[in-house]
Amino acid sequence: MKPQAIQRRGLLKSALAATAAAPLAVHAQSAAVTWRMQALWDGGTTPQKYEERFVARVAELTGGKFKINLFSAGQIVPAAQAFDAVRGGAFEMMKTFDGYEAGKIPAFAFTSTIPFGFAESDEYEAWFYERGGLDMVRQAYAPAGLHYIAPTVYGQEPLHSKVPIRKIADLSGKKGRFVGLASAVMGAMGVSVTPLPTGEVYSALDKGVIDMADRGDLTANFEAGLAEVAKYVVVPGFHQPTTATAYVANRGAHDRLPAEYKAALALAAREVSSALRQHILVNDATVLSKYAAKGCEIIRFSPADVAAARPKAMEAWRTATKGDALATRILDSQVAFMKELGLLG
């Protein structure tokens, strides 16, 4: 067996073991707590259903004493305002994508996705849990008065395009929607990048404002109707090979929670991460046929072409740190881990 296969097996065992914990013991004197949480997703979509599972599991683990009222994207505040709203205490918790704030906090460029980087979700999740990633991202959030609870890590996000993109060189001169580190890397590949909110991707493609877009996983994008407005689906998602969204709370509100409620948040978050990732893994194999039935062409990039572009992407990684000490430390940690996994020479 190859060393990398052994490492991956170990990572999988660690992830499965973490989800087998027994329900938490809640002290009788623990007070009932009610929070509000705004998610990233529209109501009725697959990822939003997993947020419903998250809040239900928190309630279950705390004997019904910790209730989180869940809202879909934009129901409390526009998605772009969620960071400041939770920071200011308008509501207690959000599901977010760190890359949205990477322009202000450089460390966040590396805690949401690594274009041309980690090839599998278990590798990226292992960086958070086994290589100090959680502590570092919490340091990045702390000055904003926020507490990073845990990531939800899943696989690739495909590229949806109105024009055929058959190789890396075809990206140059195109207009695309990307956020976070992907925007910096795709810019280095010659793309004119527009960091639109997720909810505006369909309209921007439909109206021709952009030629291509990153948005979400294959199933979520199909549910959002992207097959109607972008007839080319490019895989693998080299620009976002694995993805981490984040459960983030107002730090004061989190600090006031009993220890068992904090543990319930962390445990439920990790369980949902594994469950959603496995669900997406299964559905990715079938949803591509649904795109084809809608008249979409599935384009599969050459691994050699992707590998040849990696050095340019790595230069963009370093530039994206903007010289920030914490961002640099995070990137150095990730690069060291990728080398150990045999992903980088």
- Give me the residues paired with residue 69 across strands: 36
Average pLDDT over residues 297-307: 94
* pLDDT reading at 4 higher than 60: no
Is the residue at 299 inside a domain?
A: yes
Number of domains into which the chain is organized: 2
Q: Is the peptide bond before 236 cis (omega within 30 degrees of 0)?
A: yes
The answer, as to whether pTM is greater than 0.85, is yes
The pLDDT-based confidence of 345 (bands split at 50, 70, 90) is confident
Amino acid 27: pLDDT: 62
Better-scored residue on pLDDT, 149 or 155: 149
Is the residue at 19 inside a domain?
A: no
Q: Structure tokens of 75?
A: 């129901």
The reply to whether 60 and 90 lie within a common domain is yes
Is the residue at 2 inside a domain?
A: no
Better-scored residue on pLDDT, 217 or 333: 333
The reply to whether 187 and 171 lie within a common domain is yes
The reply to whether 210 and 323 lie within a common domain is yes
Torsions phi, psi for 253 (to 5 deg): -65, -40
* pLDDT reading at 11 higher than 60: no
Share of the chain above pLDDT 70, in %: 92
The pLDDT-based confidence of 45 (bands split at 50, 70, 90) is confident
* pLDDT reading at 20 higher than 60: no
If DSSP states are collapsed to H, E and C, what string results for the chain?
CCHHHHHHHHHHHHHHHHCCCCCCCCCCCCCCEEEEEECCCCCCCHHHHHHHHHHHHHHHHCCCCEEEEEECCCCCCCHHHHHHHHHCCCCCEEEECHHHHCCCCHHHHHCCECCCCCCCHHHHHHHHHHCCHHHHHHHHHHHHCEEEEEEEEECCCCEEECCCCCCHHHHCCCEEECCCHHHHHHHHCCCEEECCCHHHHHHHHHHCCCCEECCCCHHHHHHCCHHHHCCEEEECCCCCCCEEEEEEEEHHHHHCCCHHHHHHHHHHHHHHHHHHHHHHHHHHHHHHHHHHHCCCEEEECCHHHHHHHHHHHHHHHHHHCCCCHHHHHHHHHHHHHHHHCCCCC
Better-scored residue on pLDDT, 12 or 56: 56
Condensed to tens digits (0 to 9), the pLDDT of residues 227-265 reads 999 999 999 999 999 999 999 999 999 999 999 999 999
Is the residue at 22 inside a domain?
A: no
Distance (Å, rounded) from C-alpha 133 to C-alpha 111? 8
Distance (Å, rounded) from C-alpha 203 to C-alpha 94? 25
The pLDDT-based confidence of 308 (bands split at 50, 70, 90) is very high
Distance (Å, rounded) from C-alpha 342 to C-alpha 82? 38
Condensed to tens digits (0 to 9), the pLDDT of residues 56-73 reads 999 999 999 999 999 999
The reply to whether 174 and 264 lie within a common domain is no
The reply to whether 306 and 328 lie within a common domain is yes
Is the residue at 10 inside a domain?
A: no
Considering only CA atoms, give the Rg of the chain. 20
Condensed to tens digits (0 to 9), the pLDDT of residues 187-216 reads 999 999 998 888 899 999 999 999 999 998
Domain that holds residue 320: 159-239+286-340
Q: Structure tokens of 137?
A: 């991202």
If you average pLDDT over every residue of the chain, what do you get? 91
Is the residue at 123 inside a domain?
A: yes
Is the residue at 113 inside a domain?
A: yes
Share of the chain above pLDDT 90, in %: 81
Output the domain CATH number for residue 53.
3.40.190.170
Average pLDDT over residues 163-183: 96
Distance (Å, rounded) from C-alpha 22 to C-alpha 16? 13
